[in-house]
Chains A and B, each alone.
Chain A
Amino acid sequence: MARTFQVGDTFTHVRQCDRLRPVYYAGASGDYNPIHIDPEVGKLAGFNGVILQGLCTLGWAVEAVAVFVGDPGLVRRVKVRFSRPVLPEDTVTFQGRVTAVADGRLTTEVTATNQRGEPVLRGAVVETSLG
């Protein structure tokens, strides 16, 4: 487990939002806001249909870092701004970079962009314990 991390280390994690993911995530999380499960409500809100829960996108950003450090139990903090919804059939690419390793903590900055190159998160920071 004696893995070392350095400032500047990078990692990438790619997730597909399959067509029914907002419905599955609604069931798992309890977030049944109709904008995530009823296409008519999504259209009323100005989208083509449903949108993915922002907190699912947040979870994927955390997952990107958890996979990088190898243990989800080490994650200590996440902070994100939701800049654009993820839609069914979107592919989201998370790119992370270690910005600090100090005092038993690893700090990473994570970008998340859809297949059109548009950011879906801004200012995402995930911190982990070093174990």
Chain B
Amino acid sequence: MALDPKFVGRAYGPFTYEIGREKLREFSLILGGSVPSAGTFGEPPAHVSPLLYSQEAAQAGPYGDVIAFPSFAVVFAIRPFSAAIADPELGVDRVRLVHGEQELEFLGVMRPGDVLTTTGQISELYRKAGMDFLVVTTETRNAKGEPVVRGVWTAVIRPA
């Protein structure tokens, strides 16, 4: 059943997230391929930039503190997309859902302690080749109100 286009414009959020130092390191190392065990995120693989995990390297570097790996943004900015998918009125069949496309724009680096607020809305609902497409557009701002991340999240719901 096609998703009802009347839901275009439906908004989700605001959702607020405070970036924790260890969470940043964890994400960077795990994405980079480290093997975690109890009490440690594992050894940093050689290709992972020390700017992402080493306090010493980060303080000597261009940002003065460790920064987030760019796609860390998905940890919090996904929230309106998740909310749309779970919205009972919209009625997405999650069993048939796949993540089809993703766009992220990074307007600045993210650091520990940043308090970020994400809002989002359904920007498109359409049917193509027998599949339903749900597009959610998000914007994340810092505590000063400056945009930090913009996202375009596309789910594809395959036919039954």
Contacts and interface: CB of A to CB of B under 8 A. Distances in A.
Given A16-B33, A27-B30, A59-B31, A73 B63 contact: yes
A55 B62 contact: no
B40 interface: no
Nearest to A60: B31
Contact of B102 (A29, A31, A44, A54): A54
B101 to A, nearest CB: 5
A81 interface: yes
A58 interface: yes
Interface of B is mostly: mixed
Interface string B32-49: 110110000000000101
Please classify how large the interface on chain A is, using the bins under 10, 10 to 19, 20 to 34, 35 or more.
35 or more
B75 A81 contact: no
B35 to A, nearest CB: 8
Contacts of B105: 76-77
Interface stretch (B8-16, B66-74, B112-120, B139-147): B66-74
A78 B30 contact: no
A82 B98 contact: yes
Interface in A48-71: 54-56, 58-60, 62-63, 66-67, 70-71
Contacts of B100: 81-82
Given A56-B31, A62-B70, A77-B106, A72 B49 contact: yes
A55 B102 contact: yes
B106 A63 contact: no
6 A-B pairs closest in CB distance: A28-B30, A59-B71, A79-B103, A75-B70, A73-B109, A54-B99
27 contacts: A18-B35, A24-B35, A25-B30, A29-B27, A30-B78, A45-B95, A54-B99, A54-B102, A55-B78, A58-B74, A58-B104, A59-B31, A59-B71, A62-B71, A63-B31, A66-B69, A70-B49, A71-B49, A72-B52, A72-B69, A73-B62, A73-B63, A76-B106, A77-B104, A78-B103, A82-B98, A82-B100
